[in-house]
């Protein structure tokens, strides 16, 4: 195998790896968006649960005011 063939194989490998990395990056972005969506849903569920428990106890739901940091 000549030097030219080795260089060509190396270049081809780098191009293929670059494509795989780009596809992986897109997959990671999609997964991150799903995780963020699930996190938002959990927060809403926790809030609903806290309100329901407060109402069940006969009190008014207490919402803590937090200053943004």
DSSP 30-60: HHHHHHHHHHHHHHHHHHHHHHHHHHHTTSP
Q: Rounded distance, CA 61 to CA 3, Å?
A: 75
- Kindly state the tokens that stand for 15: 């191009």
- Kindly state the tokens that stand for 57: 């106890």
Q: Is the pTM of this model over 0.85?
A: no
**What is the per-residue pLDDT across 5-60, written as a single tens digit (0 to 9) for each?**
999 999 999 999 999 999 999 999 999 999 999 999 999 999 999 888 888 887 66
- Kindly state the tokens that stand for 30: 């999609």
């Amino acid at each position: 195998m000549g030097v030219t063939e080795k260089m060509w194989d190396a270049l081809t490998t780098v191009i293929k790896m670059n494509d795989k990395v780009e596809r992986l990056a897109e997959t990671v972005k999609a997964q991150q968006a799903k995780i963020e969506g699930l996190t938002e849903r959990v927060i809403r569920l926790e809030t609903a649960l806290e309100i329901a428990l407060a109402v069940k106890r006969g009190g008014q739901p207490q919402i803590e005011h937090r200053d943004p940091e």
